[in-house]
Chains A and B, each alone.
Chain A
Amino acid sequence: MEFFQYLGANTRSSFTKLGRGSYFLVHLIAGISSVLVRPRLLLKQLHSVGVLSFLIISISGLFVGMVLGLQGFYILSRFGAEETLGVMVAASLVRELGPVVTALLFAGRAGSALTAEIGLMKATEQLSGMEMMAIDPIKRIISPRFLAGVLSMPLLAALFSCIGIIGGQLVGTGLLGVDDGAYWSQMQANLDFQGDIINGVIKSIVFGFVTSWIALFEGYDSIPTAEGVSRATTRTVVNSAFSILGLDFILTALMFGDN
């Protein structure tokens, strides 16, 4: 009986939280117009959310591309198709790994930082202080970070994919002897701009939207104590990861289901 009570309470609180989160989302989207007239706020956040994620994304992209090059070569060479390594590496990165791994890394690096920052601002009454100065914290603090997250994600995913493709080339053509011309020309011939690249960009925008929303809402909704902020930060990473992977399946089914 207690279990059902617990289950009921959990379900109810999850729906309540979803409601609060949606309300928060409406407000932060409404606040975006005021960010556009203050581009400085956005630039500052683009730096901390996007530019500072550059290193982790580049290094991860390089290694993921190199591993794809190795794995791809061993499988493709069994069928004598190692010339198509470039297609395999690029398609995997642009369609799936670029957006997904970038979003997971983004949630871990920038998402957790956003939650902790907003949570601490709440705990130290900075958000209340702004409200009392008649300055809407959603417009000045939340919306610029949200917009920076949504704009950064596709750029970071593109960077991840590009560096991954170079990593694949380093291993494939540099170490394993795949023909350099074949690596690039096969890629050029078989990758579709609309079907592969645009769909990958759409995915990364969706992931950027969801991850930034979760991170900012968890910070804003956190209990303003050390433990509360720490739990909120953990929830950001866990919930973002689930959302990214779940949405990836849905988006992939919608985009590539007919092929």
Chain B
Amino acid sequence: MDNHVPTQDSLVTVHNLTFSRGDKKIFDDISLEFERGKITAIMGPSGTGKTTLLKLIAAQLFPNHGNIMVNGRNIHHLKHDDLYTLRKRMGMLFQSGALLTDMSVFDNVAYPLREHTHLPESMIRTLVLMKLEAVGLRGARDLMPNELSGGMSRRVALARAVALDPMMILYDEPFTGQDPISMGALVHLIKSLNITLGLTSIIVSHDVHETAAIADYIYVLSEGRVIGQGTPKEILDSQSSWVQQFMNGAADGPVHFHYPAKNYMDDLLHFEKPPSSRQRLSNNRAIKRKRYS
């Protein structure tokens, strides 16, 4: 499938992006656009590099080829200070939550406000409580991150991500680990944040139905390429066997469930020594060299 790209007013544009880790090509010349004020979802099987794409958009990783424009600027060419100024307007919800473990829930949400604004503490308190109320965790403000479940951590992280009222939020698997009640509330919250704050949202997720319910546009990635794109309805109605397999969760299809390996019977019958630690070490070093070169 060719990478047809819509041409509306885009906040983020990915042009001919290629990115590799070691010898493995994660993205092979892909182009995507993320429209201003809309929720765009990136879906695809595990290991397709969805989180990597978010990190590339946030300039935490650098592409091998191609470029990423955020708000009209090539984010990988920005100077340190300009990048940080831009990041103040970008929120990111990490898969793990990434809360600072030596601070309480309240202090975690207050942290970006205290660092970047000169608001009085009383106003910071009001803002933090409002953000925590939105994610349903106002009562958990005095807990420490190690006292929270995975789902709760992500909700606190969401409150922190919207603390500075950013122009865009990158969500990395926001629905994972949420119980059905929180899931429903979270889906509603992401949608309403988008509408009320005029945010642009990029959601990486496996949860087909929740994501399709709120997304305005969906990209389906697999094996380093865009295998499908369109509105949720277009994606669900897609005739592409790749897209159908992913949306319906079928084990058989063009996307392989198994990681590439040699023949199963051959593998069982022929004993092969695993690589020595020295070989593994030199492989790791080769990968690291490439990463830093």
Contacts and interface: CB of A to CB of B under 8 A. Distances in A.
Interface of A: 6, 9, 12-13, 16, 20, 121, 124-126, 128-136, 140
Interface stretch (B37-45, B92-100, B251-259): B92-100
B87 A128 contact: no
Interface stretch (B109-117, B183-191, B207-215): B109-117
29 contacts: A6-B278, A6-B282, A12-B289, A13-B285, A13-B288, A16-B289, A20-B292, A124-B98, A126-B98, A128-B98, A129-B100, A129-B157, A130-B100, A131-B87, A132-B58, A132-B60, A132-B87, A132-B90, A132-B91, A132-B92, A132-B94, A133-B87, A133-B88, A133-B111, A133-B160, A134-B87, A135-B111, A135-B112, A135-B115
Contacts of B99: 126, 129
A100 B164 CA distance: 48
Contacts of A9: 282, 285
A134 B98 contact: no
B239 interface: no
User: Of A12, A128, A140, which is in contact with the most chain B CB atoms at under 10 Å from its CB?
Assistant: A128
Contacts of A132: 58, 60, 87, 90-92, 94
Interface residues of B, number: 30
Given A124-B96, A129-B92, A135-B116, 13 more contacts: A12-B289, A16-B289, A124-B101, A128-B98, A129-B157, A132-B87, A132-B94, A133-B88, A133-B160, A134-B84, A134-B87, A134-B112, A135-B115
A128 B60 contact: yes
Contacts of A16: 289, 292
Nearest to B157: A129
B292 A126 contact: no
Given A125-B96, A125-B98, A128-B94, A133 B115 contact: yes
